[in-house]
């Protein structure tokens, strides 16, 4: 999962989940609170269900519904009730339990005030009148009643201002002497019912708890998405710093950090391959030095031995002197050949082979090669045969000098491992579609099946080739492969032990465009 997607999901969940859970908490706590308020205040639950916090104005009105309707009934059928202070006090005490109290007016003069205060609730009528004269919070209510517009048809009104928040319910009636009277039920909103306060605290605590748990889980989820691959990268970097590249970075997912881990794993593989290649290169260089040293030591020892023989007068006849000089020359040529191979190898290793490609008449080229090699091969009792089955004027694009080097290396290899007398080497040119195919076959000792796939590898020499009489640096056929592949061709071999070896070279034919 992408980091951006992960963060977006976390943000949406942090935003919506607390709201959803808080809503559910409000609903279930509200249902419970509804029942509590209904039981405690005698309010019909249906009148405010669904509005648990804060309790709407209608709820406070409903809290005094019973007493309000009772006063309305007295106003219509029993006005003597309003002159019986004991009954009025009883109604007021019952209203006090519901955060309300009663005020009675005769004309415009208040004659009963059931003061809304615990220290005044039990006061006698005379004491309440004295409180009115001295001035209390009730003065604001009385002033309010003077200024307040007539309540609506339901007898309800409300006031929010200064330091008072009250609801009013009014009942009009007439005293026995015909005087106009008014009864007010005053409900104070200043003290919230304990159940509502408790509900608000519970909802707040649950909301905070939900937000904390949600945030903790999501932060852990997001951080884990970062930390696991980061720890893996740290582990990988530590291993690489210590030179250990033999480990694996396991990549899971497709986010940006996983892609970084994948890139890091690719880098580790390339570093490991580079180190292994460098180690192999160093090993090959050491092997080359060892091979060249070994192969140079033999002719050098022979040269020194024959030179010493000449100095000591061992070659005391012209025939011996001729034979000694010829041997010295042959060994010197062997050393020259080895040095040339080493020089050419260094150019291969740095891709600095000096090619000069040009149109080459392949038949003429091999005729020259055969003519040049025939005399030397005949002196070694090896017969060279040449067959050309190509069309006339068949051409390739090649560097004649480097191609000549490749052919000579193959011929030199055939001569080196020739174990029959007389020996035989055949060169055949033939068509192969858009290519020409060159076969160089000998009747030498052959190559074992286990060695055959490796003969074109650098520094590879079969066990038999390590015989000091054979010599060889192990790079001759690898040079052939490099030169032929740089010409856009291919080289391979077949062989049978005791029968001989055939080396195949395939080069693309060149056709000159005609207009």
What is the reported pLDDT for 474? 65
Is residue 107 a part of any domain in this protein? yes
Question: Are 219 and 136 in the same domain?
Answer: no
Question: Are 14 and 154 in the same domain?
Answer: no
Span 160-199, pLDDT tens digits: 445 556 778 888 888 888 888 888 888 876 654 555 666 6
Is residue 262 a part of any domain in this protein? no
Beta strands in 107-200 (DSSP E): 109-113, 156-161, 164-174, 180-188
Residue pointed to by tokens 């001989």: 500
- For the record, the structure tokens of 129 come out as 């009148």
73-80 mean pLDDT? 88
pLDDT tier for residue 355 given thresholds of 50, 70 and 90: confident
Question: Are 492 and 365 in the same domain?
Answer: yes
- Provide the number of structural domains found in the chain: 3
Buried b (16+ CB within 10 A) or exposed e, 101-135: bbbbbbeeebbbbbbbeeebbebeeeebeebbeee
Question: Are 375 and 358 in the same domain?
Answer: yes
Supply the pTM of this predicted model: 0.47
Span 404-425, pLDDT tens digits: 989 998 998 899 888 888 899 9
Residue pointed to by tokens 């391959």: 273
Q: Is 150 helix (H, G, I), strand (E, B) or coil?
A: coil
Question: Are 424 and 383 in the same domain?
Answer: yes
Beta strands in 26-134 (DSSP E): 100-106, 109-113
- For the record, the structure tokens of 265 come out as 């794993």
d(CA 222, CA 394): 71
Is residue 316 a part of any domain in this protein? no
Q: Which of 173, 207, 225 is the last residue of a domain?
A: 225
CATH assignment of the domain containing 187: 3.30.450
What is the reported pLDDT for 4? 64
Beta strands in 28-179 (DSSP E): 100-106, 109-113, 156-161, 164-174
Q: Is 326 helix (H, G, I), strand (E, B) or coil?
A: helix
> Can you give the residue range of the structural domain that contains 100?
57-191
Beta-ladder partners of 170: 184
- For the record, the structure tokens of 237 come out as 């970097």
Element (H, E) at 12: helix 3-41
Q: Which of 191, 216, 247 is the last residue of a domain?
A: 191
CATH assignment of the domain containing 465: 3.30.565.10
Question: Are 10 and 91 in the same domain?
Answer: no
Is residue 329 a part of any domain in this protein? no
């Amino acid at each position: 999962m992408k980091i951006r997607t992960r963060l977006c999901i976390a943000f949406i969940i942090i935003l919506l989940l607390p709201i959803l859970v808080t809503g559910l908490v409000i609903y279930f706590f509200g249902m419970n609170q509804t029942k509590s308020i209904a039981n405690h205040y005698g309010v019909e639950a249906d009148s405010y269900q669904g509005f648990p916090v804060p309790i709407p104005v209608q709820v406070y009105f409903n809290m005094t519904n019973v007493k309000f309707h009772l006063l309305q009934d007295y106003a219509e059928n029993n006005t003597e009730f309003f002159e019986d202070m004991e009954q009025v006090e009883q109604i007021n005490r019952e209203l006090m339990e519901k955060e309300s109290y009663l005020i009675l007016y005769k004309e415009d003069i208040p004659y009963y005030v059931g003061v809304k205060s615990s220290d005044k609730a039990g006061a006698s009528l005379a004491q309440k009148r004295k409180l009115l004269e001295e001035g209390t919070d009730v003065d604001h209510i009385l002033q309010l009643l003077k200024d307040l517009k007539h309540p609506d048809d339901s007898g309800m009104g409300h006031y929010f201002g200064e330091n008072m928040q009250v609801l009013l319910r009014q009942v009009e009636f007439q005293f026995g002497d015909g005087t106009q009277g008014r009864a007010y039920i005053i409900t104070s909103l200043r003290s919230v019912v304990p159940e509502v306060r408790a509900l608000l605290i519970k909802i707040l605590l649950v909301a905070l708890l939900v937000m904390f748990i949600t945030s903790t889980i999501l932060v852990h989820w997001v951080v884990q998405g970062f930390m696991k691959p980061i720890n893996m990268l740290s582990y990988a970097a530590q291993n690489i710093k210590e030179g250990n590249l033999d480990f694996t970075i396991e990549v899971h997912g497709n986010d940006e950090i996983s892609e970084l881990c994948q890139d890091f794993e690719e880098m580790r593989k390339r570093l490991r391959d580079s180190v292994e290649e460098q180690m192999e290169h160093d090993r090959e260089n050491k092997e080359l030095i060892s091979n060249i040293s070994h192969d140079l030591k033999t002719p050098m020892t022979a040269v020194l031995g024959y030179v010493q023989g000449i100095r000591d007068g061992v070659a005391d006849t012209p025939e011996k002197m001729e034979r000694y000089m010829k041997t010295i020359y042959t060994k010197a040529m062997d050393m020259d050949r080895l040095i040339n191979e080493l020089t050419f190898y260094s150019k291969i290793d740095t891709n600095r082979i000096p090619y000069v490609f040009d149109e080459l008449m392949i038949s003429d080229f091999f005729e020259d090669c055969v003519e040049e090699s025939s005399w030397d091969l005949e002196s070694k009792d090896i017969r060279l045969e040449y067959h050309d089955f190509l069309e006339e004027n068949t051409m390739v694009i090649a560097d004649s000098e480097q191609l000549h080097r490749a052919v000579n290396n193959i011929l030199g290899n055939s001569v080196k491992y020739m174990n029959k007398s007389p020996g035989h080497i055949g060169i055949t040119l033939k068509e192969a579609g858009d290519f020409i195919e060159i076969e160089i076959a000998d009747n030498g000792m052959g190559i074992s099946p286990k060695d055959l796939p490796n003969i074109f590898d650098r520094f590879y020499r079969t066990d038999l080739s390590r015989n000091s009489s054979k010599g060889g640096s192990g790079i001759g056929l690898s040079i052939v492969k490099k030169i032929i592949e740089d010409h856009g061709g291919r080289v391979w071999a077949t062989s049978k032990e005791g029968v001989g070896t055939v080396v195949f070279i395939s080069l693309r034919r060149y056709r000159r465009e005609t207009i």
